[in-house]
Amino acid sequence: MKSKSYLTLALAGAAALGLAASARAEDKPIVIGVNTAIQLQVGRDAIDATKLAIDEINAKGGVIGRKLEMVVADEGEAAADGPKMGIAAVNKLTGEDHVNVLLGGYDSGVTLGELPHIIRAKTIFLGIGSASPAIQNKMKDDYDHYKYIFRVNPINSAKQAKGLVDFISGKLKGELGYQKISIIGENAKWVQDVVPALKKGAEDAGMTVPLAEFFDVQTADFSPLFAKVKDNGSQYLLIILSHAASDVFVKQWYDAKVPVPIGGIDVKGQDANFFDRVGGKSIAEVSTNFILRAPLTDKTVPFWDAFVKAYDRPPVYTAPGAYDAVYIYADAVRRAKSTDTDAVIKALEQTDFVGTRGRVVFDELHEVKDGPGFVNELFVQWQNDGKRVVVWPKDIATGKMISPPWLVQN
Amino acid sequence: MAQILVYGAVISAIYAMLAVGFTLIFGVARILNLAHGAFYALGAYGVYVLTAYGHLPLLAAAVVSVLFVAGFGAAMERVLVRPLRRSTLAVLMITLAVSLMVEQVLLLIFGSEARNVPSMVDATVAIAGVDISGQRVIALTGGIVILSGLWLFMQKTRLGAAILAVSQDAEGAQYMGIPSDRIFSIVMALSAGIAAAAGVLVAPFQTVIPGMGLLPLVKAFAIVIVGGLGSIPGSILGALLLGYTETIVAFNISIEWAQIVSVAAVLITLILRPAGFFGKRAAF
Amino acid sequence: MRSMIDWIGAGVAIAVLASVPLLAGSNYLVVVLTVALCNAMWAASWDFMSGLTGRENFGHALFIGAGAYTAGFLNTALDLNPWWGLPSSAIVAVLFSLVIGIPTLRLRGPYFALAMLSGATVMQSLTIIFSEYTGGQDGLNGIFPILDSQTAYYYLTLAIAVATVASLKFIALSPWGTILRAIRGDEATCQAAGINVSFYKITALMISAAFAGLGGALYAHALLQVGPDLFAVILSINTIILVYIGGMGTIYGPAGAALLFSLLIEKLRFLSEYRLWVYTLILIFILFFLPKGLVAPAWVWLRERLSGRRRKRAEDAVA
- Segment C261-300, tens digit of pLDDT: 998 988 888 887 788 888 888 888 888 888 788 888 888 8
Strands (E), A121-186: 124-127, 149-151, 181-186
DSSP secondary structure, C134-165, as one string: H-GGG-EE-PPPSSSSHHHHHHHHHHHHHHHH
Helix (H) or strand (E) holding C290: none
pLDDT at A23: 47
Residues of C with CB under 8 A from a CB of B: 56, 103-104, 106-112, 114-115, 117-119, 121-122, 125-126, 128-129, 233-234, 237, 240-241, 244, 248, 273-274, 276-277, 280-281, 283-284, 287-288, 291
Instruction: Look at residue A323 in the predicted model and tell me its pLDDT.
Output: 95
Give the separation between CA C39 and CA C45, rounded to whole angstroms: 10
CA distance B3 to B129: 8
Which pLDDT value is given to residue B67?
A: 95
CB contact under 8 A, A245 and B258: no
Contact C32 A115 (CB under 8 A): no
Cα B68 to Cα A180: distance, rounded to the nearest angstrom: 50
Average pLDDT of the residues of chain C: 87
| Cα–chain center distance at B37 | 7
pLDDT score for A277: 81
Question: Where do the DSSP E strands lie in A121-174?
Answer: 124-127, 149-151
Domains and CATH numbers, chain A: 28-155+296-361 (3.40.50.2300), 158-289+377-396 (3.40.50.2300)
Residue C22: pLDDT over 80: yes
B196, B14 contact by CB (below 8 A): no
Query: For residue B92, which phi and psi values (nearest 5 degrees)?
Result: -55, -50
Q: What are phi and psi of A241, to 5 degrees?
A: -125, 135
The pLDDT value recorded for residue C311 is 61
List, in sequence order, the alpha helices (H) in C55-196: 61-76, 85-101, 109-129, 131-134, 150-173, 175-185, 187-192
Does an H or E element contain B127, and which?
A: strand B124-127
Considering only CB atoms, which chain A residues are within 8 Å of C227? 82-83, 109, 113
- Distance CA(C14)–CA(A178), nearest Å, equals 69
C2-318 CATH choice from 2.60.120, 1.50.10, 1.10.10, 1.10.3470:
1.10.3470
Mutant choice from A42, A74, A187, A223 vs B, greatest count of B C-beta within 10 A: A223
Residues forming a β-bridge with A288: A379
Cβ distance of A227 and B7 shorter than 8 Å = yes
The residues, ordered by sequence, that sit 6+ positions from C173 with a Cβ below 8 Å of its Cβ are none
Residues A43/A6, Cβ–Cβ less than 8 Å: no
Average pLDDT over residues C299-305: 85
A189 with C26: Cβ contact below 8 A: no
Report the residue from B90, B101, B108 with minimal CB separation from C284: B101
The string over A374-400, giving b where at least 16 C-beta atoms fall within 10 Å of a residue's C-beta and e elsewhere, is ebbbbbbbbbeeeebbbbbbeeebeee
Q: Which residues of chain A are under the pLDDT cut of 50? A: 1, 20-23, 410
Q: Map residue A325 onto helix, strand or coil.
A: helix
Q: Is the dihedral of CA A312, A318, A324, A329 positive or negative?
A: negative
Query: How far is Cα B62 from Cα B202, in angstroms, rounded to an integer?
Result: 11
Q: Phi/psi class of residue A338: alpha, beta or left (left: φ > 0; alpha: ψ in -120 to 50)?
A: beta
Distance from CA of B261 to the nearest CA of C (A): 8
Q: Rounded CA gap, A14 and A17, in Å? A: 5
Beta partners for residue A240, in sequence order: A185, A265
Taking the C-alpha atoms of residue C64 and residue C216, their distance in angstroms, rounded to an integer, is 5
In percent, the amount of chain A with pLDDT more than 90 equals 37
Q: Is it the case that residue C312 has pLDDT exceeding 50?
A: yes
Judged by DSSP in three states, B50 sits in: helix
The arithmetic mean of pLDDT across residues C182-189, rounded, is: 83
Please state, in angstroms and rounded to a whole number, the distance separating the CA atoms of residues B84 and B96: 13
**Contact between chains at A245 and B205 (C-beta distance less than 8 A):** no
Rounded Cα gap, residues A185 and A265, in angstroms: 9
d(CA A156, CA C115): 41
Give pLDDT < 50 ranges for chain B: 281-284
C69 residue type, one letter: Y
DSSP string, A212-281: EEEE-TT----HHHHHHHHHTT-SEEEEEESSS-HHHHHHHHHHTT-SS-EEEEESGGGSTTHHHHTTTT
pTM score, whole prediction:
0.86
β-pairing, A359-361 vs A378-382, is unpaired
Q: Chain C residues with CB inside 8 Å of A92's CB?
A: 28, 266, 269
pLDDT digits (tens, 9 = 90+) for C79-130: 778 788 899 999 999 999 999 999 888 887 788 888 899 999 999 989 888 8
> What is the share, in percent, of chain C residues with pLDDT greater than 70?
96
DSSP category for residue A212:
E
